[in-house]
Structure 1
Amino acid sequence: MSKTLAVVGVLVALVGMSVVAAPEFAMAPARDKWTAQEVSTIASMRLKEAGPLSPEPSNAYERRTDAAAFGRALFNDTRLSRNGQVSCASCHSADKQFQDGKPLGEGVATGKRRTMPVMGAAHSPFLFWDGRKDSLWSQALGPLEDAAEHGGNRVRYVRQVQTHYKEQYQAVFGPMPALGKLPEDAMPGGTEAERAAWDAMSEPSRDGINRVYANMGKAIAAFERTLAYGESRFDRYAQATVAGDGRGQEVLAPQEVRGLRLFLNKGQCVTCHNGPQLSDHAFHNTGVPPLNKAAPDRGRADGVKKLLKDEFNCLGRYSDAKPEQCGELQFLAADDPHNLAAFRTPSLRNVAERAPYMHAGQFTTMEQVVRHYAASPKAALGHSELARPGEKHADRQAIRLSESDVQDLTAFLGALTGPVVQAK
């Protein structure tokens, strides 16, 4: 036999061996059985289903790396506060899931609501618990002038940009407008003295200040949109389930799988916590007890009114969008009774790392949250969307969970934790 034929014979033998050995490495049959509808729902919850972020038409600078670098500097600058000690990062800390772990946000004073995380915020059409902002850049402006958060005013902030960031600003947004002689402190809201100083300014000066101020928000948004959730064990389980990969499904423990079944079915969690961000980005009244029973938080009911009057909304003069690109804003109903005491559905991604919970930190553990939904208490203000036992409800059934169900569902929520990632 020639050497060539011998080599060919060896290769054939090896190929034959590999063919025989291949089944050993084939995917194992599915460990957990799901209906076709359940598989479809699980597949839709995978993080990768979010795809790339859609452009925000009201911010023409959001994808520029120089804008993000400028925004990151602003995000971490404590000089952008009344006492020189508070920055965006004070409440949105990188080592705490870009939130603060406190029941109520704490800036120069204590706020009235829980700090929401930054990751994934660019996917939501409305920001804050009450949805009073309709873009990430407009949202970034709110805390700067809030008396309990940064406690400053836009004229003082523009002075800071002129002094410390003029070169970075102009590299992104072009020459700063001619602002003339500015008062020390001024803004449309705030103290009586600040309002009077603002009213005394010329219209071109006020417009120039607003333009620079809006651009500060657009730069901060360019940075914040680079922050995202990474894949969790649930995402790997979902991918294995779609592929019918039994070994891949082992990434979740049996208790966590039981919790997922509850999440999709008896617990009715997926009704609001759906899609790749595990949020419908809508507003719901679920009977969460108010901190102040004498004056319950009105939530979305007041948030809509603030949004429609906001000079920095999508339809405002400082937006880069065309009016037809602001459809959601144009069709908002300011008097919808369902908005009363309704709050935005937060993402459940990384939720186990973000105690306490709800819009004012009313619950300290995830288990307490699950028990709240099972109890379905009446709302202190407005009407809860949750069905109560024996109550006729058009859209829901009463949530009935056993003690083991509560434990299983809580265990599953822990499987939604993944890394925080930042786009390059």
Structure 2
Amino acid sequence: MRHPWNASWLLGSLFAASAAVLVTLAHAGPRSTGAEGWSERELAVLATLSLQRLPPAPVDPSNAVERRPAAVELGRRLFSDARFSANGKVSCASCHDPQRQFQDGLPVSRGVGTGARRAMPIVGAGHSPWLFWDGRKDSLWSQALGPLEDAVEHGGNRTRYAQLVAAHYRAPYEAVFGTMPPLDGLPPDAGPHGAVAEQAAWAAMSERQRAAVSRVFANIGKAIAAYEKSLQHEPTRLDRYVDAVVAGRTADAGVLQPDELRGLRLFIGKGQCVSCHNGPLFSDRQFHNTGVPPRDPARPDRGRADATAKVRADEFNCLGAFSDAAPAQCQELRFMVEDDPALLGAFKTPGLRGVAQRAPYMHAGQLATL
């Protein structure tokens, strides 16, 4: 499924080239002028921006169903179902609105309560080994589960969600994941998180019951991830321009305005924005502390520094019991950097396709405009 949004209208949002390409180009031979005044070095960098250069998202070995059409369709339905929330009003689409590039346009997201960070767009998220601004999840399906149990996002619990699937999605669920476990006799509201009563009810369940409910819960995330991974960017004006000049053609008149071209030259040149915002998705998918002021100076967000312990302890990570991967396939998690001081206050480089239409900016909406 391709999402039909328009191109960004500000070339200050456009970035280029991977660090490896830049290093290679730095040692390249003499510059010569190419199409429309771009040097050979610049054209080589521009080429890396094209959406045509984006490979398919890597297969996630921890989610065996992610490419099954039936899983994509089930995930599409679950994504927009507001019954999967404590108040029956919040769905994944509430914060990841398809009409807003799968985000909500708010400084910090609002579910059943108010969060502390912005909703990130999800198109292209399957190319990243880490999810959320701080990377506290290591797969799309694990990421999808986090908000469902979060007190200020969906605010629900596992037995409630499992029973919703049994009541409303049994046939499509079983077509993808096999027979649902029996859920008779379970408390209506129980889970390892949430209210004290919910946690107590969860503790009173047998280990077998908890494992069965958690398996259904994990499969909810895997179906949603299959849908999210099916979403793709549409080519933009930038792609039209880049594809033309890299091929040695003159771009269509007016496809980029003069100020946009000046911005593009800055971003791949003097501005060096390409150092972090590179490739077709304009992100190195790494974590950096760029000195953005915290939203709450009294309680600064520690970002990636606190996330590594969370992802390591997550029962739904690549090495967990609900993953479909073999341990040897979980290289990112096994060799995750955890003790680097540079992780303090570091957040993931956001992808910037269509960014001019996604104000406000930064991880907590600290900046109102580009």
Q: Per-residue CA shift, 1:141-192, capped at 9, x if unaligned?
A: 0000000100001111001111111111101100012345211211112222
The alignment status of 1:361 with 2:355, answered yes or no, reads no
2:142 aligned residue (134, 138, 141): 138
**How far has the Cα of 1:40 moved from its partner?**
1.4
Aligned to 1:306: 310
- 2:270 corresponds in structure 1 to 266
Cα separation, 1, equivalents of 2:251 and 2:91: 46
> Is contact 2:93-2:102 (8 Å) kept?
yes
| CA deviation map 1:193-239 (0-9, x unaligned) | 22221111111111101110000000001111111211111111111
Q: Deviations over 1:256-295 (max 9, x none)?
A: 1111110012211111000111100001100111111011
**Root-mean-square deviation over aligned CA pairs:** 1.4
1:122 paired residue among 126, 131, 137: 126
Q: In the alignment, what sits opposite 1:63?
A: 67
Q: Which residue of 2 aligns with 1:33?
A: 37
**2:350 matches 1:346:** yes
Match of 2:50 among 46, 51, 66: 46
C-alpha change, 1:259 and 1:249, in structure 2 (3 Å) is farther
- Specify which structure has the bigger relative contact order, considering alpha-carbon pairs within 8 angstroms and separated by 6 or more residues: 2
* The structure with more radius of gyration: 1
- The answer to whether the 8 A contact 1:32-1:249 is kept is no
Structure 1 CA distance, aligned partners of 2:213 and 2:268? Answer: 50
> TM-score scaled by structure 1?
0.78
Structure 1, gaps ≥5 residues long: 1-28, 367-424
Q: Does 1:295 align with 2:299?
A: yes
What's 1:154 paired with? 158
SS at match of 2:232: strand
* Structure 2 counterpart of 1:258, one-letter code: R
1:342-363 Cα offsets, whole Å, 9 max, x none, are 0011101010110110000011
TM alignment of 1:63-142, pairs within 5 A: 63-142=67-146
Runs of 4+ residues deviating >4 angstroms: none
2:258 paired residue number: 254
Aligned residue for 1:11?
Answer: none
Q: Is the 8 A contact 2:34 2:40 kept in 1?
A: no
1:310 partner amino acid: D
* 8 Å contact from structure 1 (residues 284, 339) kept in 2: yes
Task: Give the unaligned 5+ runs of structure 2.
Answer: 1-32
Quote the Cα distance in structure 2 between the aligned partners of 1:260 and 1:228: 23
Name 1:236's counterpart in structure 2.
240
- 1:324-335 correspondence runs (5 A): 324-335=328-339
Structure 1 counterpart of 2:185 = 181
Classify the secondary structure of the residue corresponding to 1:61: coil
> Equivalents in 2 of 1:288, 1:364: separation in Å?
13
Q: Give the letter for the 1:289 counterpart.
A: P
Give deviations 1:344-396, integer Å, cap 9, x for gaps: 11101010110110000011111xxxxxxxxxxxxxxxxxxxxxxxxxxxxxx
Map of 1:213 onto structure 2? 217
CA shift, 1:32, in A, is 2.2
CA contact (8 A) 1:30 1:246 kept: no
1:188-207 equivalences under 5 Å are 188-207=192-211
